[in-house]
Amino acid sequence: MADPILNKLKHHWNVSNRREFFTQAGSGLAGIALAAMMAEDGYAAGVDPLAPKKPHVTPRAKNVIWCFMEGGPSQVDLFDPKPLLDKLALQPVPPSFHPETLLTAQGAKPSDGLFPARRPFKQYGQSGLWVSDWLPHIAQHVDDIAVIRSCQSDAVNHVGGVCQMNTGSILAGRPSLGAWLTYGLGSAQRNLPTFVVMQDDKEILGAVQNYGSGFLPATYQGTLFRQGDTPILNLKPPAGTTDEQQRSKIELLQKLNELYGRDKLDDTELDARTRSYELAYQMQSSAPEAVDLSKESEATKKLYGMDERETAVYGANCLMARRLVERGVRFVEVYSGSGSGWDAHQDVNNNHTKWCKASDKPVAGLLADLKARGMLENTLVVWGGEFGRTPFAQISAGQTPEKYGRDHNPWGFTMWMAGGGVKGGQTIGTTDEIGLRAVEEPHHVWDIHASILYLLGLDHLKTTYMHNGRAERPTVTGGNLIQKLWA
């Protein structure tokens, strides 16, 4: 007789027999639900959705810290100098750049005129990479940084853009990259979430859809950390609760749930809920310790800019990111300008002055600190927003040029990576002469994702999950490796 449970699960798991299922179940939530059955079958050990899994290729990195500049930093003002903008300042985008095909989010018109970089550029380091003086601290690390100047996204607007940069799709509902990574690799620790998100200002546009698990089991979704000593809401047990008391309560709950679930073994969700109490319990002690910066030296705090008002918030988040990675958290996303801070439709000068200041020293501090601790080689640091900004101005009525802004630019923008096996001191790809479109080696978001997965040891084509009859993968329908990153 066919195995009913297996058949129910077959819909989600591409397996042909029960044994194979159990092997695969080690990577999924369904596994826990079957713990009891497996014990009967002699498979007692090792059923854990977060059990470390064998990578497909030799990993170069173990962890990722993604410094997400939300709202869209301007590539032509930061990493991609375009002298032509100065020559053609405030002149319409020349026809050779096909401005007629552009559709801007807030209606900035290419005919309103090209807008030169707001800050002078200089070359830095051995490699001589160009960085504007808006980011003087990051500039000191260019020899560890690979700048990708030819990134592309499908999104014109933020909600779709942030969503695609996180999930590969501009429509909500797919698993985030962090979820795929934890699904594919498991986790080296059980005391903290495997995927943590931190914001410095408002709620990330689209909120949970950007760190959700989509159709992957919920266990892989990201956890939003809040500021302060209680990074997770309700982390602290009610005052006076003893550890023994709390353990005993959870034990009771598990027994009650076990009785309830005894005749409902097919329902994996019930057991997942029971199990989530274990993780919750462990988090109670591990999470406050992980975010407790009091043990960090003053020098370290200073390195991250925590001693200055403007950089204190993002600096603390970056330092926390390091501590989390140190404790085995696989994927940390640290938002700068969460809630679209970098969205400089008006007065790019003022906007970028603020957000560059808030993030430059913290990011540089993170790179320096990781390097000093020997962690940079295992930790991939990614920098970038959901898209870049137009090289032409966005003008509101009555504005003088110093107040001009820039609209969204998904057609060619800059991201960079450092550490985690990335070859620093190089630029990859180019945009056209005005920094509008990627021309050489264009790299879609999917390429970025595929390459990050690869650096962590996963082949994006093999990282699949059966959903609605399709073996879904992180890169949807695309993804080419950016070989230059590590070659």
Task: Provide the minimum distance between the beta carbon of 14 and other proteins in the complex, in angstroms, as a whole number.
Answer: 14
Nearer of residues 75 and 209 to other proteins, judged by Cβ? 209
Task: Provide the minimum distance between the beta carbon of 262 and other proteins in the complex, in angstroms, as a whole number.
Answer: 10
Taking CA atoms, 211 is separated from 52, 176, 197, in Å, by 21, 5, 8
Task: Provide the minimum distance between the beta carbon of 310 and other proteins in the complex, in angstroms, as a whole number.
Answer: 15
Nearer of residues 81 and 405 to other proteins, judged by Cβ? 405
> CA-to-CA distance for 151 and 482, rounded, in angstroms?
11
User: To 10 degrees, what angle do helices 309-326 and 348-372 make?
Assistant: 40
Nearer of residues 58 and 400 to other proteins, judged by Cβ? 400
Contact between 319 and 306 under an 8 Å Cβ cutoff? The reply is yes
User: To 10 degrees, what angle do helices 243-261 and 268-291 make?
Assistant: 160
Nearer of residues 14 and 123 to other proteins, judged by Cβ? 14
Nearer of residues 351 and 379 to other proteins, judged by Cβ? 351
DSSP SS3 for 486: coil
Nearer of residues 312 and 476 to other proteins, judged by Cβ? 476
Exposure of 467 by Cβ count < 10 A (0-12 exposed, 13-18 middle, 19+ buried)?
A: middle
DSSP assignment, residue 146? E
Nearer of residues 203 and 289 to other proteins, judged by Cβ? 203
Task: Provide the minimum distance between the beta carbon of 249 and other proteins in the complex, in angstroms, as a whole number.
Answer: 5
Tokens standing for 61? 């990195």
Task: Provide the minimum distance between the beta carbon of 120 and other proteins in the complex, in angstroms, as a whole number.
Answer: 30
Task: Provide the minimum distance between the beta carbon of 410 and other proteins in the complex, in angstroms, as a whole number.
Answer: 9
> CA-to-CA distance for 123 and 431, rounded, in angstroms?
18
Return phi, psi of residue 5, to 5°: -65, -45
Task: Provide the minimum distance between the beta carbon of 144 and other proteins in the complex, in angstroms, as a whole number.
Answer: 31
CA-based Rg of the chain, rounded to a whole angstrom?
Answer: 24
